[in-house]
Amino acid sequence: MWRWLTLLLMMLIPWTTVRAQQFVTPDPTLVPTEDPYLPADMPEDWIRTKGVAFTIFGDPTDLAEQQRLLDHASASWPELSEELGVPLGGRVHVFLTESEAQFHDLQPGRAPTWADATAWPNQRAIFLRTDDARPGVARPLTQVLDHELVHVLLGQAFGPRPVPSWLQEGLAQVHAGEVGADHALTVGRDLWMRQRLSLEQLTGPFPASAADAQLAYTLSADVILWIQDTYGDDAMRDIIRKMAHGATPEVALHEVTDLSMAELEEAWRLRYELADGWRWALPENLDTLLFGLASLGLVFLGLRRRRVMRHELANWDDQERALDKLSRQLLRRWYNRRS
């Protein structure tokens, strides 16, 4: 009973570009036969742009953008399917909404208020917004679309089985090209040192607060990159396939990497600790190093001036104090940036 209720609830939770969780058919080779979602209250003047696997819906004024998205999705779909090692599913509907209100009103269920886009794998539906309806646009819409396509592909491959959030969001970010090894390592390392989330904690829905969710997203991307770097792309596909066929994360990871979940996490953590020990030498920390050198230089100058000028006029004292203060500030800033 509870299992079914939980399942029903999870089917109503969309995957978004900022966070979420999902699935589909128990047999990944089985293509769902039911029609993809179509909102009952879709604007009457909307047009549809149809391709082999996708139908894009939207306002006639956005026709060029719809065509661009269709072309992009048609090319990405088989590529992502191959990269992830999961089969292609049935037709997907993509809705290009024109406002915040429209974006939320047309969804089959509730979407988080901050969501930039959503994917509903069971309904084979993706909701996007035009750039005009995206406050603070950071990523190209085609990249957002790729992220959602990964959610739909994984959701369909897993069927009714929940996809762990770290796997779902990690793969979406990595395969949409949102993060590279450097980015995740740099951002994730700092976050990791402050708050160590385990894979277990990253399995369910991500934290509600934007800052915590961001941490969860970053760490999810990093664990995927780390597994790929360490064990190879085929290993990652093996893990996805085993889990899609019902293996728990513990079993799938152990069968592929020969490590227990705890050992795997320890190895992953070591990457941060090693990186942390050597971070002062990384080019990205050049400005910190320069700060440090400048601070030391000022301290040296201050000491020297103090000796030479001790007998000089009284107003030099003020300048000395100002110089000392500046040195202290620089040193403090340098130290804070390093810790």
Type of residue numbered 287 = D
By beta-carbon proximity to Zn ion, the closer residue of 206 and 272 is 206
Residue 76 or 327: which CB sits closer to Zn ion? 76
Residue whose CB is less far from Zn ion, 15 or 77: 15
Cβ 214 to Zn ion, closest distance in Å?
12
Give me the residue whose beta carbon is nearest to Zn ion.
Answer: 172
Rank residues 33 and 113 by Cβ distance to Zn ion and give the closer one: 113
Report the residue number, 43 or 112, with the smaller CB distance to Zn ion. Answer: 112
Please state the closest distance from residue 160 (CB atom) to Zn ion, in A: 20
Q: Rounded to whole angstroms, how far apart are CA atoms 118 and 254?
A: 32
Q: How far is the CB of 339 from Zn ion (least distance, A)?
A: 33
Dihedral sign, Cα of residue 322, residue 327, residue 328, residue 329: positive
Taking the least distance from each CB to Zn ion, the nearer of 65 and 148 is 148
For 33, residues 6+ apart whose C-beta sits below 8 A from its C-beta are 90
* Tokens representing residue 6 in the block: 């939980």
Minimum CB–partner distance for residue 169 and Zn ion (Å) = 5
- Give the number of other CB atoms < 10 A from CB of residue 212: 15
Q: What is the smallest separation between the CB atom of 223 and Zn ion, expressed in angstroms?
A: 15
Strand partners, 119: 15, 126
Q: Reduced to 3 states, what is the DSSP secondary structure of residue 257?
A: helix
| Sequence-distant (≥ 6) Cβ neighbours of residue 213 within 8 angstroms | 18, 19, 206, 207
Shorter beta-carbon distance to Zn ion: residue 15 or 127:
15
Binding site for Zn ion (CB under 5 A): 15, 169, 172
Could you tell me the smallest distance in angstroms from the CB atom of residue 154 to Zn ion?
10
Work out how close the CB of 213 gets to Zn ion at its nearest, in angstroms, rounded to a whole number. Answer: 10
Asked if residue 206 lies in contact with residue 213, where contact means CB atoms within 8 angstroms, the answer is yes
3-state secondary structure 87-144: CCCCCEEEEEECCHHHHHHCCCCCCCCCCCCEEEHHHCEEEEECHHHCCCCCCCHHHH
